[in-house]
Homo-oligomer: A and B are copies of this chain.
């Protein structure tokens, strides 16, 4: 407790932010360069290709993105003909979003790329570290979610 000031470089939230941003930027640049999509758009495509037709509301739940972000991503993807809106019979307020043929084709190219990038990123970690990271991130996220009071 003498004079050993805590250095910024030792501050965990700072490290987390720096590492996460570096990873995100790197991957986002690849997506953008190869497919012309940004991260929100990529997330929407990934989920739609995985799960099938969803409403924007469901996409919000699946991606942890803001509803506005989801809306914008869907709009861009629809304009590019990668997803199609079909009316939702059970609720006139929303539409069902689904990949078109060309959207499904891009999804088929994008997911392997994503897995390659992930593998490339994680190759510097041992299998135990990868498992550990997964667990730790979940814990941290839950911890923040829970501490809404105080």
Contacts and interface: CB of A to CB of B under 8 A. Distances in A.
B19 A140 contact: yes
Give the dominant DSSP class at A's interface.
Answer: helix
A8 B46 contact: yes
Nearest to A9: B62
Contact of A132 (B23, B117, B136, B150): B136
Contacts of A11: 46, 114, 118
A48 to B, nearest CB: 10
Interface string A13-47: 11111111111101100000000000100010011
Contacts of A19: 16, 20, 137-138, 140-141, 144
Interface of A: 5-9, 11-24, 26-27, 39, 43, 46-47, 49-50, 62-64, 111, 114-115, 117-118, 120-125, 129-130, 132-145, 147, 150
